[in-house]
Amino acid sequence: MGMKTKVALGAVVGIVVIGVVSANSGDNGDGGNGGNGGGTSAAADKNAGGSGGKADDAAKSDSGDKGKAKASQAEQFKAFVAKNGTPKEKAAVTHVLKVQGADQQNDILDSADVYTDFTGGLMGEGSGPSKLIASAFADWKDSKNGLVTVYDADGEVITNGNF
């Protein structure tokens, strides 16, 4: 049983490393193209404070809920689960502290991270609820090739899931 756990953990770490390397190499390529089409240029336009950023904000608020545009990714995720989740998913999502990578998707290799207040890593108290969190995340976001990773309070991987 110890060997199976080591193999599974090695596979998870390998997938995460490949995802991180691929995500970072994609970011460098977009930045070198003068900001063509990437999420980085939109963020730069917003931070510049020009009229284009305000027009983009107005377009976003027209197309979606105003509260969701200003809410953090974790708050958006919690609101979605509060509205659409099962009672067990709702209980599990109360442990979510932070969500990263949910807003930038390209359907090639999407990677999102969910940080929780669980302790004990892969074999800790959060292993069951973290699977519910990953499942709820897959209901919230959709990608052709997405991977969500749920971490504990110490930054250890608890579980992974496709979305």
* pLDDT one digit per residue (tens) for the chain, 163 residues: 566 666 666 666 667 666 665 666 554 444 444 444 444 433 334 344 444 443 444 444 444 444 445 789 999 999 999 999 999 999 999 999 999 999 888 888 899 999 999 998 889 899 999 999 999 999 999 998 999 999 999 999 999 999 8
Task: Report CA-CA distances (Å) from 151 to 9, 46, 54.
Answer: 13, 30, 35
| 3-class secondary structure, 76 | helix
* Amino acid type, 133: I
Kindly give the residue spans of alpha helices, DSSP state H, lying in 33-156. Answer: 39-48, 51-63, 66-70, 73-84, 87-93, 127-140
Task: Find, among 83, 21, 136, 2, the residue nearest to 150 by Cα.
Answer: 136
CB 129 within 8 A of CB 91: yes
Burial of 66 (0-12, 13-18, 19+ CB in 10 A): exposed
> pLDDT tens, 20-66?
656 665 544 444 444 444 444 333 343 444 444 434 444 444 444 44
Q: How large is the greatest C-alpha to C-alpha distance in the chain, in angstroms?
A: 60
| Rounded Cα gap, residues 163 and 120, in angstroms | 25
* Token pair recorded at residue 25: 């190499």
